[in-house]
Amino acid sequence: MPPFSRVRSALRYLAHADPFYKWRVHRASCPNCKGNFFLSLRADPFMTRCLSCLANATNLSLIPVIQQHSEHCRVETAWEMSTYGATLAYLKRQVPRVYESEFFPGIEPGHQVNGILNQDVQNTSFADDTLDLITSNQVFEHVEDDVKGFRECHRILKPGGALICSLPLYDLPATQQLARISHGKIEHLAPPEYHDSRRGGPGSALCFWRHSFHDIIARVASVGFSAKLIDVRLPATSPEPTLVVYARKPVVSSP
């Protein structure tokens, strides 16, 4: 993201903060850098950051789930669906082979764009049963066919491998589709919603979905995963958790 866009994004971020007298400092260990203090600009994981590595609690929340998974399953190959962030930094220290990528529309999956691997989670270049772990932060709401993306993750994971991800979850009766692509053009089914993107800048990432925490596990499990939501609080005193999707590809028993 260009420097000016980063400033704009930072100002947009601070616009969501509480007045400074409501900010809170928490003493807790960061799972990424082992720093000892977090600052909450609002009682929200996305607005809570480690004061050492500056990662927000939403991004950091995947790490404890990865650690729990790694205690029971060997992880030698992982794919993180971005080229930045605390999750990626942690994986690079812990996993022998880590793929990192971004999505460039119109580019063949597996090709490089200015040295960055391009992957589309709906149609990756990975072979069947290739990866031990897939992680993503705030990605699937931007995927046109999220279930197709979950199915692709299931295909490329080894038996026993896991998809561990966070995404915005809402108290809706069911997941709501906001947009779709029809005849090559975006068709909005609800008022347009955009998120900031490190690559594209502020307000550049279209949201196709508002996912409900009531049915997200059913959507993930529909492609063959054994899935659940894990409540992660960073720091432990935080009033609001991050709900992390932990989806494991079943191990097929020998006859």
- Phi and psi at 45, nearest 5°, equal -55, -35
pTM, two decimal places: 0.93
The pLDDT score that the predictor gives to residue 98 is 98
Helix, strand or coil for residue 41?
Answer: coil
Provide mean pLDDT across the span 195-211: 86
CATH number of domain containing 129: 3.40.50.150
How many structural domains is the chain composed of?
1
Residue 164 lies in a domain: yes
Residue 186 lies in a domain: yes
Number of Cβ within a 10 Å radius of residue 225: 23
Residue 4 lies in a domain: no
- Tell me the pLDDT tens digit for each residue of 179-193: 999 998 999 999 999
Residue 70 lies in a domain: yes
Residue 53 lies in a domain: no
Q: How buried is 45 (Cβ within 10 angstroms: 0-12 exposed, 13-18 middle, 19+ buried)?
A: buried
The pLDDT score that the predictor gives to residue 198 is 76
- Tell me the pLDDT tens digit for each residue of 77-86: 999 999 999 9
The pLDDT score that the predictor gives to residue 6 is 57
Expressed as residue numbers, the domain containing 134 is 59-248
Distance in angstroms (rounded) separating the CA atoms of residues 156 and 127: 6
The DSSP letter of residue 220 is H
The pLDDT score that the predictor gives to residue 202 is 76
Q: Are strands 131-137 and 77-80 parallel, antiparallel or unpaired?
A: parallel
CB 25 within 8 A of CB 37: yes
Residue 47 pLDDT > 60: yes
Residue 16 lies in a domain: no
CB 41 within 8 A of CB 14: yes
For residue 169 the two structure tokens come to 């979850």
Residue 122 pLDDT > 90: yes
Residue 20 lies in a domain: no
- Residue 252: C-alpha distances to residues 101, 160, 161 (Å): 29, 9, 12
The pLDDT score that the predictor gives to residue 9 is 63
Provide mean pLDDT across the span 16-32: 92
For residue 147 the two structure tokens come to 């279930």
> pLDDT: is 220 or 14 the higher one?
220
Residue 31 lies in a domain: no
Provide mean pLDDT across the span 146-171: 98
